[in-house]
Amino acid sequence: MGKTIIATVITVLVSSLCFCQNLETRRHLLGGSATISPGFQQSNPDMNIYVHGFAYFYPEPKVSLNGEVYWYTGAQEQETLLAENSTLVFGPNYHFLKDGPLDPHIGIMPAISLVSAIDRTTSQPSVGAYSLVPLVALNAGVRYHFMKWFNVFANARYMMGTLTENYPKALSMNEWRISFGLGFNVYSSKE
């Protein structure tokens, strides 16, 4: 049994090396993915659930432009503070390494959320009107390009902002959002 597992691991590693994409440069690399992402707010005892989709383009090997959407699908429990919290994010990431399959990155991006909060301070909870809340997103993550068309990724993002309207008091929208999964990439130019 142990020999079978070791043989399988070696076979997978060797085959992934055979199909590795030569990433001498990431210039003109285009990619994207979609995943389920949890969100954790200090002001909200519940865990928010998002469908997170994103696309990115590298105009230069150490810079990528990202467009992302977080579609709020609900929360894990019933006592959430939010009826809606979908977010659009766009901006640059800085990539520490120019060459090779390992790709750690950081970024600061503007974002905007469509928010509707639930007022639970009264005996009858009421859903507030929709508000657009500007946010700042701090991003840190890593990609590993392991085959010609694929990468695996892990990303942590801290969203900062405050809901100041359509709720009895200012509500912090600060939240950690975690994403990981399988991504797809292609070169958009043969340079």
Q: How confident is the model over 64-122, as pLDDT tens digits? A: 999 999 999 988 876 778 889 999 999 999 999 887 788 999 999 999 999 998 887 77
pLDDT at 21: 46
What lies within 8 Å, CB to CB, of 126 at 6+ separation is 118, 119
What domain range includes position 112? 2-187
What lies within 8 Å, CB to CB, of 165 at 6+ separation is 131
**Torsions phi, psi for 4 (to 5 deg):** -65, -45
Amino acid at 98: K
pLDDT at 75: 86
What is residue 33's three-state secondary structure?
Answer: strand
Half-sphere exposure of 14 (CA within 13 A, CB side): 6
Of 87, 85, 84, give the one whose Cα is nearest residue 69.
87
The string of pLDDT tens digits covering residues 151-167 is 999 999 999 999 988 88
| Cross-strand bridge partners of residue 77 | none
Residue scoring higher pLDDT (40 or 11): 40
Q: Is the pLDDT of residue 9 over 60?
A: no
What lies within 8 Å, CB to CB, of 55 at 6+ separation is 30, 31, 32, 66, 67, 68
- Considering its fold, how many domains does the chain have in total? 1
- CATH number for the domain spanning 139: value is 2.40.160.20
Give the separation between CA 21 and CA 137, rounded to whole angstroms.
31
32 with 56: CB under 8 angstroms?
yes
Give the separation between CA 69 and CA 168, rounded to whole angstroms.
28
Question: Is the whole model's pTM more than 0.75, yes or no?
Answer: yes
CA dihedral 101, 23, 106, 52 (to 10 degrees): -80
- pLDDT confidence bin for 18, thresholds 50/70/90: very low
Q: Is the pLDDT of residue 19 over 90?
A: no
